[in-house]
């Protein structure tokens, strides 16, 4: 038994079964048989791409399906519910969709033993733009309409799904064939107001690019009606990969680059970050943790109370442009050059928020199962030295507050996108580390 206790959740049990080898193949095969389909549609092999688990509420999974000898990939979204009537009601709503996109099998189907509904993603909840990004003819029409040049073969390879957030956004990766060669890019599809904010954020940053010490993704094309952005893919390795590979100097370069963002004299006319808002977000995140790991509640409550008390003493005068959702996968390193991507959450706020998130990410990677903990202190010293060398100022208490908050946010269950083996122990270690940083028994760097 682990330190956090054991709670039985039928949704977690169904989730573990669903992502086990061969489980979704069986569910898919049964759905095809029920729909009267034989042959090729049934011969798909699946692997889980994402898992978003909410204890006792629901789980969202994304699967990638492939066939031997075929280049085309298919994507499926699965939602597991607490009770079967909820799944049945959702399936009825799925079949109420007007003109569902033709798919290789049933557009949506019930998986009774998991209390789940599965969709082939062009017909998933909202984000209907995915239909245009997963069908060759529709994608060619979109490219022609927005003027993005491409040299496409008749059976060209479609974009690959990178991330999918139901009802909000999807990110796809594509190697676009052009006359000059292959152009790697990302395609971001949004729902409603998120698109306008993303366009405005990138425009604001691009106007100030000369003052930034890092590269931004260039907007190659826009499709406002479909709410789609085509962005160049920046070269390099992610900071996460660099940290796990113990590349010297990685965090120093990132620190200098981040200082250039915080040094901009103007503030973006967008949301304003505050410690109070972050505490509210943390409350929602740790609620799931304490539901499934109730033994952690006393430690989490003590950390949360300590953060609330210290938040009143934070210097709120330090406000600058901040990334707003920065961690290692959104920072690219190519030699000594730094790139930063995913600016949907650009905000005005305390610079220590960005700095604390990066430090917490490095510490999280240093936990058992992520890399070598002995590397962590030196790496964080590099981050802070680079930040100060780039003109940034580090206030120890503000940094401590944001590191602790970010450590708990990194430990939330939904951040563990595939529910890696040992995820419970990983959360326990993160909570323990956050408490030690807060009370000063563990240095940040």
Rounded Cα distance, 211 and 43, in Å:
53
> What is the pLDDT at residue 422?
82
Whether the pLDDT of residue 415 is over 80: the answer is: no
130-232: CATH, from 2.30.230, 3.30.70, 3.30.200, 3.40.50: 3.30.200
Q: How far apart are CA 62 and CA 79, in angstroms?
A: 9
Lowest model confidence (mean pLDDT) among 54-63, 150-159, 171-180, 225-234: 150-159
Helix/strand/coil for 242 = helix
Fold held by 237-438: Aminoglycoside 3'-phosphotransferase; Chain: A, domain 2 (3.90.1200)
Mean pLDDT of 38-49: 81
Lowest-pLDDT range, 203-212, 214-223, 285-294? 285-294
Containing 51, the helix (H) or strand (E) segment is strand 45-54
Q: Helix or strand or coil: residue 131?
A: helix
Closest CA to 18 of 57, 52, 50, 61: 61
pLDDT digits (tens, 9 = 90+) for 336-375: 899 999 999 999 999 999 999 999 998 888 876 554 444 4
Which region, left, alpha or beta, applies to residue 78 given φ > 0 means left and ψ of -120 to 50 means alpha? beta
Q: Residue 156: pLDDT band by 50, 70, 90 thresholds?
A: confident
């Amino acid at each position: 038994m682990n330190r956090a206790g054991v709670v039985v959740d039928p949704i977690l049990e169904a989730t573990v079964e669903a992502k086990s080898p061969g489980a979704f193949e069986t569910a898919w095969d049964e759905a095809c048989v029920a729909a009267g389909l034989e042959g090729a549609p049934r011969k798909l092999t699946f692997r889980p791409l994402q898992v978003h688990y909410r204890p006792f509420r629901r789980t969202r999974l994304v699967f990638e399906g492939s066939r031997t000898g075929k280049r085309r990939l298919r994507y499926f979204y699965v939602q597991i519910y607490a009770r079967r009537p909820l799944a049945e009601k959702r399936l009825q709503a799925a079949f109420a969709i007007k003109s569902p996109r033709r798919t290789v099998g049933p557009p949506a189907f019930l998986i009774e033993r998991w209390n789940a509904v599965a969709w082939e993603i062009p017909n998933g909840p909202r984000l209907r733009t995915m239909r245009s990004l997963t069908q060759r003819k529709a994608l060619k029409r979109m490219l022609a309409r927005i003027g993005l040049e491409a040299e496409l073969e008749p059976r060209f390879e479609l974009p690959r799904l990178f991330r999918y957030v139901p009802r909000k956004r999807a990110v796809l990766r594509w190697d676009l064939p052009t006359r000059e060669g292959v152009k790697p890019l990302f395609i971001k599809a949004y729902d409603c107001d998120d698109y306008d904010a993303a366009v405005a954020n990138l425009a604001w940053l691009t106007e100030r690019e000369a003052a930034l010490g890092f590269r931004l993704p260039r907007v190659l094309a826009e499709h406002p009606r479909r709410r789609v952005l085509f962005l160049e893919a920046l070269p390099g390795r992610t900071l996460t990969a660099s940290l796990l590979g113990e590349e010297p100097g990685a965090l120093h370069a990132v620190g200098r680059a981040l200082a250039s963002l915080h040094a901009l004299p103007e503030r973006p006319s967008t949301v304003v970050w505050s410690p109070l808002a972050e505490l509210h977000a943390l409350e929602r995140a740790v609620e799931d943790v304490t539901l499934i790991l109730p033994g952690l509640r006393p430690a989490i409550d003590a950390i949360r109370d300590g953060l609330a008390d210290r938040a009143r003493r934070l210097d709120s005068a330090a406000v600058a442009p901040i990334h707003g959702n920065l961690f290692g996968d959104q920072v690219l390193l190519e030699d000594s050059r730094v790139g930063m991507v995913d600016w949907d959450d650009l905000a005005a706020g305390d610079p220590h928020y960005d700095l604390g998130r990066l430090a917490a990410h490095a510490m999280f990677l240093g936990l058992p199962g992520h890399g070598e903990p002995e590397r962590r202190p030196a790496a964080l010293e590099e981050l802070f030295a680079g930040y100060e060398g780039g003109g940034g100022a580090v206030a120890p208490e503000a940094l401590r507050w944001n590191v602790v908050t970010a450590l708990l946010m990194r430990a939330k269950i939904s951040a563990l996108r595939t529910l890696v083996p040992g995820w419970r122990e990983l959360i326990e270690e993160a909570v323990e580390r956050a408490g030690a940083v807060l009370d000063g028994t563990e240095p940040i760097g």
